[in-house]
Structure 1
Amino acid sequence: MPLRLPDGLPAIDILKRENIDIEEMLVKKDDKRPIRIVILNLMPFKATTETDFIRLLSHSPLPMDISFLKLKSHTSKHTPQEHMDRFYHTLEEVNKEQVDGLIVTGAPVEDIPFEEVDYWRELQEIFNWAHENVRSTLYICWAAQAGLYHFYGIPKYPLPKKMFGIFPTTPLKLNLPLFRGFDDVFRMPQSCHTEVRREDIDRIDDLEVIAESAESGVSIIRSRSRQDFFITGHMEYAPNTLDTEYRRDLGKRDDVELPKYYYREDNPENGPLVTWRAHANLLFTNWVMGINEM
């Protein structure tokens, strides 16, 4: 499971403790060119999100070169500048070599209109660049909403309360390469205050809903003309992420309830019951394999 990671990245030590053999994952410069994956990390705590995505990508049998993209128009308040300078690159730097796959993470700006997000214009430029230069892009959570709005004009809608939990989800086209090896139902973590609606998506010929949940709604949308996927949830979440969010928001928000289908016996003291990780690993492996087959 070879990966080429930036030397000194904090995720390396964490993944070593999880028995992922990092030494074998680091490939030599003279090896066959690995698939190049770039992650635009919009989350505030960069190192946590880096680890979440690298953990999933490490299950691929293909060699990968993973790097991180930063915004010039936004300064992270929760990650040291030294970390950003060492491990993150501008679009101009990233674009010097072929990029095969792009992952755009969620961001804690759901309640803000897209045009009022301070980095919206730069984000649009990156979306347009990816559309012309990258084989396949995964847009995650808020980024999925942003991508759908930017390319197709699809709006987001506020929810009366937070969609929060691990929801049974149905893949609608099991013959798609993205769902290779999937069961008839999988579970997707959701943590959102806004949503996109199926009726808006169905009006766009280029878009197709390929996974949805009876409780949490549209889950995965794909572009028919490109290998782009818009994922409304967080398959990358670690086992304790929703617990951290729940305890953080207790007493601070009145629209957050106990995450559904998450705690053992619905009791936070019993800890989470992890039910989504196998399909999460499969989803990201299938995505990388699909890029390789293009």
Structure 2
Amino acid sequence: MPINIPKQLPAGELLKKEKIFIMDEDRATEQDIRPLNILILNLMPEKEKTELQLLRLLGNTPLQVNVTFLNTATYVSKNVSQTHLETFYTTFEHVKERKFDGMIITGAPIEHMQFEDVVYWKELEKIMEWTKTNVTSVLHICWGAQAALYHHYGIDKFELPKKCFGIFSHDITDQTVNLARGFNDVFVAPHSRHTAVSIEEIEKHPDLTLLSVSDDAGAFIVISNDEKNIMVTGHLEYDAHTLAEEYGRDVQKGLDIDVPENYFPNDDPTREPMNTWRSHTHLLFSNWLNYYVYQATPYVWD
């Protein structure tokens, strides 16, 4: 089944070229089915790239998905046109009376800041509180995962000696959990962050389960025991070239940055990187949509 997106969204043409089944709003209104309504709070600076990455994954399932893009009212991104935001995004005030089957809260390149120092932190706290009653399941990514662990469960992030940057191997702690269905015992995933969260604090917390962990990258997938919140500290949604682009930007800025680990062939930045995590990315998103959204959400919200 298709993903339903606004007619003129730039990502639409790229998704069509990739043979992702999409449907515009006009055709979707003619479908006599109950679609899933997914809200995406996109905090990433290059919003159009993140839109494409997430829509590609949401559109590769048997479920029809309606997507609403959300941006913060207390901070306006400088890396996307105001026209794009006005055309395809809305703010919390316009959706707070609605119910959503699922929500994605993305990462943001603000890890060095304390949560309370982030311009839109109070707005984000209000949104995360609202999800308790208005969203069936929330998928949090990277900084969004750290923000959720801090707000909902009191687990703070801490600075790493150097950036966790590259492709790392991960284990699954419990293969019977629905989110991990189809996962290999060991799989790889991208990370790009300067901070981490305590494995010990997560394991001790009565409301959380550490589902996936890496010897090199630390805690990876954390799920709340009520299955309301899923926190993923890395970037499974990244394209093959995303880490290369980040590395190139840091080099151009003159930053002291290591080559991403286990990413370029022979650690040579002039060689073409390969996407070695794609299959598990699709598994994660399809499992989330199926078991934690579709199977759990009410057909008619009260």
Return the TM-score normalized by structure 1: 0.96
Q: Distance in 2 between matches of 1:19 and 1:160?
A: 42
Q: SS in structure 1 opposite 2:38?
A: strand
Alpha carbons 1:141, 1:234 under 8 Å: kept = yes
Identity of aligned pairs, percent? 44
Q: Give, in whole Å, the separation in 2 of the partners of 1:29 and 1:92.
A: 28
CA distance in 2: counterparts of 1:56 and 1:263, whole angstroms: 24
In structure 1, runs of 5+ residues without a counterpart are none
Partner of 2:129: 128
> C-alpha separation between the residues in 2 aligned to 1:40 and 1:176?
26
User: 2:225 & 2:141 partners in 1: Cα distance?
Assistant: 18
Partner of 1:16: 16
Match of 2:4 in 1: 4
Deviates more, 1:24-33 or 1:274-283: 24-33
Q: Secondary structure, in 3 states, of the residue corresponding to 1:4?
A: strand
Moved more, 118-127 or 181-190: 181-190
Which residue type is aligned with residue 128 of structure 2? F
For 1:206-249, what per-residue CA distance to the aligned partner results, in whole angstroms no more than 9, with x for missing partners?
01110000111100111112331110000100110000001111
> RMSD of the TM alignment (CA)?
1.6
Amino acid at match of 1:149: Y
Unmatched tracts of structure 2, length 5 or more: 297-302
Q: Are residue 226 (structure 1) and residue 230 (structure 2) matched?
A: no
Alignment match, 2:149? 148
Letter in 2 for 1:230: M
How many aligned residue pairs are there?
A: 294
> Which residue is 1:38 aligned to?
39
List structure 1 segments (4+ residues) > 4 angstroms apart after TM superposition. 23-26
Q: CA deviation at 1:104?
A: 0.2
1:46-94: per-residue Cα shift (whole Å, max 9, x none)? 1111001001111111111011011111111111111111111122322
- The aligned residue for residue 240 of structure 1 is 241
Q: Is the 8 A contact 1:40 1:103 kept in 2?
A: yes
| 8 Å contact from structure 2 (residues 6, 24) kept in 1 | no
1:60 alignment counterpart? 61
> Is the CA contact 2:158–2:197 (under 8 Å) kept in the aligned structure 1?
yes
1:1-294 matches, cutoff 5 A: 1-23=1-23, 27-250=28-251, 252=253, 254-290=255-291, 291-294=293-296
The answer on whether the counterparts of 1:148 and 1:154 sit within 8 Å (CA) in structure 2 is yes
The 8 Å contact of residues 2 and 27 in structure 1, kept in 2 or not, is answered as no
CA distance in 1, matches of 2:63, 2:252: 45
User: Taking structure 1 as reference, are residues 128 and 278 closer, same or farther at Cα in structure 2, changes over 3 Å only?
Assistant: same
Secondary structure of the residue that 2:100 maps to in structure 1? coil
**Equivalent residue of 2:161, what SS?**
strand
**SS of residue paired to 1:78:** coil
Amino acid at match of 1:130: T
Partner of 2:299: none
Q: What TM-score comes out, normalization by structure 2 length?
A: 0.93
Q: Which has the higher mean CA deviation after the structures are superposed, 260-269 or 161-170?
A: 260-269
Asked whether the 8 Å contact 2:179–2:284 carries over to 1, the reply is: yes
8 A contact 1:209–1:220 mirrored in 2: yes
Q: Is the Cα–Cα contact under 8 Å of residues 21 and 59 in structure 2 kept in the other structure?
A: no
Q: CA deviation at 1:183?
A: 0.9
Q: Secondary structure at the match of 1:131?
A: helix
SS in 1 for 2:28: coil
Q: CA deviation at 1:34?
A: 0.3
